[in-house]
Amino acid sequence: MQPALAATLQRLAQGGAEDFFQGTLARDLAADLAEAGTLVAAADLAAVRPREAPPIAMAWRGFELRQTPAPSMGFAMLQMLAMLEHHDIAAMGWGSEALVHLMVEAKKRAFLDREAHAGMEVPPFAELLSPARAAAHAAAIGPRAAHLPVRPAPEADTTYFCVMDAEGNAVSAIQSLNSAFGAGVVGRRTGVLFNNRMAYWHLDEGHPNRLAPGRLVRHTMNAPMAMKDGRPWLLFGTPGADNQVQINAQVLVAIAVFGLDPQQALEAPRWTSSQPGQESNYPHAGSEVLTVEAGLGEDVIAGLRARGHEVKVVPPLEGPCSVAAIRLLENGVRMAASDPRRDGWAAAW
């Protein structure tokens, strides 16, 4: 039983957002926050305003790819895909050593830009997503694994969902408490569970994601959508911190380039790359490890090691993330899929 939270939900139903940010509920919430030792006061709650912004977008293989704008790191997925266009990835074959190596190296370079720009109030998206930058990054990718630590700067209580109705209206959405059970603190008066998303701040002088008053912390959450001929073609996304954009890129390539259906793409063997200094959560650690699921096959794994990757193999379906996806077919049929790696489901009504 959670009587305090139940009472808060009843108050929200009656008073709405105004009560939560500026009314009596806000005063109780501010008191809970003060009791927990936070720096958030009633004036801070009253100053909150929704941030509304258009998605960032990029043309790719006949699609318009839309991604979550700043302060999200969603643009890193678009950068990865732009680099792939400088190679004949279809000829490489899905799940091949060559394709995995190329995508891992593209991810490493995209994360260099992520660390340098994703904490900015207005990142230079025109430059970051320009053909010239993609070409320069792609040209720098060699046949062996590169050592590319990001500038020193977890996957837990995040939820992704996507919905499409009969008229084709679509939502791709994600929210997060950050760590498991957020900060692990529940307000005594309100029953509200506090998040710890500000663990993503950096404290280094001059870092674009440095903690400062009034700023928004960079985050990893992204809710992509692929459009074709003016209507949604694929909705997809996942929890997973720094692994999110990596897995999202793999899912899109599997479906859009290699023709896998959504469930096949979600169950396909996957990889995730780490770099020193990459982890978004303080203290922003990281390693050179490339984690792959055993389903990639012994030959592919051996080939990646021969290219210089430090490979860690995990059992099938024990890699990170938990993707949900909806694909809208040309005849109007919706194909929904849910990742078997964690709890989730696909439903139609």
DSSP per-residue codes, 159-180: EEEEEE-TT--EEEEEEE-SST
C-alpha–C-alpha distance, residues 170 and 162, integer Å: 7
Which tokens hold the place of 292? Answer: 């792959």
Cβ count within 10 A of residue 344 = 18
Contact by Cβ (8 Å): 99, 90: no
Which residues are CB-neighbours of 189 under 8 A, at least 6 positions away? 4, 28, 29, 31, 32
CB 179 within 8 A of CB 157: yes
The sign one gets for the Cα dihedral 101, 297, 95, 223 is negative
Name the active-site residue from 158, 220, 238, 291: 158
Report which secondary-structure segment, H or E, holds 11. helix 3-22
- Listed in sequence order, the residues at least 6 apart from 331 whose beta carbon sits closer than 8 Å to its beta carbon are none
Task: Please say if 158 is a catalytic residue.
Answer: yes
Strand partners, 292: 271, 313
17 φ/ψ angles, rounded to the nearest 5 degrees: -65, -30
Preceding amide of 283 cis, omega within 30: yes
Question: Is residue 311 within 8 Å of 304, Cβ to Cβ?
Answer: yes
Catalytic residue list:
158
